[in-house]
Chains A and B, each alone.
Chain A
Amino acid sequence: MIDRAAPHPAPYADPYVCGVGLGLVLLAAYVVMGRGLGASGAFASSASGVVAALSPASARANPYFARYAGAAGGPWLDWLVFELAGVAIGGLVSAYFAGRLRFEVERGPHTSRAARLLMALGGGAVMGAGAVLARGCTSGQALTGGALLSVGSWLFMIGAFAAAYVVAPLLRRAWR
């Protein structure tokens, strides 16, 4: 299967067309489920599940984890957990057919794999903290809440992009 990745990966699709497609997926979620998309919520739910598995008492005592662990169906049979699993599957299938499936650590020409992996690890951790505080991420807040005109979601977007534009120049060398 990895061989398929080799010489000619397909060009990326038009971003506007993809965006409209994504918007229609989001709209379908509103119409079918009465809710939108998300990603960080799935991480919160699974983290709660892990804590609950290791120590049910701790999970119950922690107000953040208790909410997910105590939800109907539990932390694992959670809508967002399944949705995120779907995201991985959809991404995998799309990459396969586009010939973009390959093991790689994307980085700049002067950045080592280790450095890039550390950046990703750290970036992920920081985003995790931010997502807990903001009750969501770009999928749950910016897309879902943004399309429904929630003030908090737009504030999240503004905060996120402002901060990203401040931090990115400091890391320019990692990608050049």
Chain B
Amino acid sequence: MRAPFYEFGAFGSGTALVVALIVGAAFGWCLEQSGMGSARKLVGQFYLTDLTVLKMMFSAIVTAMLGAFWLGRVGLLDLTRVYVPETWVLPQLAGGAIFGAGFALGGLCPGTSCVAAASGRGDGMALVAGMFGGVLVTGLGFRFLERFYDVTARGTFTLPQALHLPYGAVVALVTGVALVAFRAAEYVEGRHAA
């Protein structure tokens, strides 16, 4: 099994940065093509008028999830060498809530703000500046955050482990939930258009 290529030494850190540029460009392209560079369109998610965010995010998650599962299953990808973000239950719930509040206020997320800024949107640029400032200030005040930052650490902790289900069962579950969510999204959008 020779993938992930970088983990098996196929290329070095210099090339990795070039890969980063290319991957980022593809990422930015997909975001802009679906209109995620427009705050006006994006906030439609929160007012239930335009659920593109849900469709985009969930489609991407399901695609990558199924892809990773099956490539792992057929032995083309060594999943143990793919970095899985670790879990800190309370900090990530709290951080998520804070992030979500900012998201609703700003109308863009960190990635889409770069797309918006690159498309000439002043609000995108302001958000990028705000993000930078927010991270900077939070980092400077990290001392006050430190105690809470590391509570409820669970290390690498996946849904299959938490639910005591096989990986494939969780994959099926998430796929099913996503497909139902898409149906619901079409219905909700249809109601609004009517």
Q: B54-81 interface mask toward A, CB cutoff 8 Å, 1 = contact, 0 = none?
A: 0111111111110110010000110001
- Expressed in whole angstroms, the minimum distance between the Cβ of B79 and any Cβ of chain A is 8
Determine whether A53 belongs to the interface, using a CB cutoff of 8 Å to chain B. no
* Inter-subunit contact A31/B3 (CB<8 Å): yes
* Inter-subunit contact B121/A104 (CB<8 Å): yes
Choose from A5, A23, A34, A151 the contact partner of B59 (Cβ within 8 Å). Answer: A23
The answer to whether A168 and B46 touch (CB under 8 A), given A18-B30, A31-B71, is: yes
- Expressed in whole angstroms, the minimum distance between the Cβ of A46 and any Cβ of chain B is 7
* Inter-subunit contact A175/B126 (CB<8 Å): no
CB contacts (< 8 Å) of B134 on chain A: these are 124-129, 131-132
* Inter-subunit contact A39/B60 (CB<8 Å): no
B interface: dominant SS: helix
- Expressed in whole angstroms, the minimum distance between the Cβ of B176 and any Cβ of chain A is 14
A interface: dominant SS: helix
Determine whether A70 belongs to the interface, using a CB cutoff of 8 Å to chain B. no
CB contacts (< 8 Å) of A48 on chain B: these are 139
CB contacts (< 8 Å) of B93 on chain A: these are 155-156, 158-159
The answer to whether A125 and B17 touch (CB under 8 A), given A18-B34, A175-B47, is: no
- Expressed in whole angstroms, the minimum distance between the Cβ of A37 and any Cβ of chain B is 6
Within 8 A of B (CB), among A12-26: 12-16, 18-26
* Inter-subunit contact B132/A43 (CB<8 Å): yes
Q: B129-161 interface mask toward A, CB cutoff 8 Å, 1 = contact, 0 = none?
A: 111111111111010011011000010111111
State in angstroms the CA–CA spacing of A139 and B97 once bound together: 16
- Expressed in whole angstroms, the minimum distance between the Cβ of A102 and any Cβ of chain B is 5
CB contacts (< 8 Å) of B117 on chain A: these are 88
The answer to whether A27 and B132 touch (CB under 8 A), given A34-B6, A160-B103, is: no
15 contacts between A and B (CB under 8 A): A12-B35, A15-B52, A18-B33, A19-B55, A30-B67, A63-B146, A64-B139, A84-B24, A127-B98, A130-B95, A133-B145, A137-B109, A143-B57, A150-B86, A160-B99
